[in-house]
């Protein structure tokens, strides 16, 4: 009996002494429009079978074309999570730079509220190290969006014109 109890305590100590593991999944934004507010959403999941006490994941957003001097930090503050539990987090941002690509990356070592490290994993299973890029968002100008809309409208107008031409041809030849 005593031997089994010691084994259980040793297993608990070994599990509780390791780093926490969280899966960080940015909910994909393919693009945003210049000067319009947008929100980046993340799904964070506790990968381990032990409770996560809460903590923070520091992130950096930067404009890739402007170099390292144009960085915007933000932090995901996480509440406690049960084993395998997930939570959705949102960070509001504002697009300021025309036509650039904003890249999201983990800034530095992530810490739980109890002082232990958090190992962050990408949705594809790889570990995300500090400074590693994890998500990119293309920023479109309002003119680019208008041009795309005009192109689609022209396409649909052409399709309608072709349909009317076919109907007209059919009436002339068969009626």
pTM (predicted TM-score):
0.63
Q: pLDDT (tens digit, 9 = 90+) per residue, 15-25? A: 445 789 998 88
Give the DSSP letter of residue 77.
Answer: E
Shortest CA distance to 56 belongs to which of 66, 39, 44, 72? 44
Q: Does the CA dihedral 172-173-174-175 come out positive or negative?
A: positive
Cα–Cα distances in angstroms (integers) from residue 173 to residues 160, 164, 166, in the given order: 20, 14, 11
Q: pLDDT (tens digit, 9 = 90+) per residue, 136-171? A: 776 777 787 788 889 999 999 999 999 999 999 998
* Exposure on the CB side of residue 173, measured as CA atoms within 13 A: 6
Q: Give the CA angle between residues 135, 137, 143 to the nearest 5°.
A: 175
């Amino acid at each position: 009996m005593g031997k089994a109890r010691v084994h259980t305590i040793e297993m608990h100590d070994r599990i509780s002494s390791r780093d926490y593991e969280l899966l960080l999944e940015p909910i994909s934004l393919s693009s945003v429009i210049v000067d319009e507010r947008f929100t980046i959403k993340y799904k964070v999941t506790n990968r381990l079978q032990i409770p996560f006490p809460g903590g923070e994941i520091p992130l950096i957003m930067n404009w890739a074309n402007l170099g390292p001097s144009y960085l915007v930090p933000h932090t995901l503050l996480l509440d406690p999570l049960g084993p395998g539990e997930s939570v959705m987090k949102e960070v509001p941002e504002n697009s300021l730079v025309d036509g650039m690509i904003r890249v999201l990356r983990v800034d530095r070592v992530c810490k739980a509220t109890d002082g232990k490290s958090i190992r962050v994993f990408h949705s594809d299973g790889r570990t995300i190290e500090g400074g590693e890029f994890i998500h990119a968002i293309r920023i479109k100008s309002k003119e680019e969006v208008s041009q795309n809309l005009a192109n689609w409208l022209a396409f649909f107008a052409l399709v309608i014109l072709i349909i009317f031409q076919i109907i007209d041809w059919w009436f002339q030849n068969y009626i």
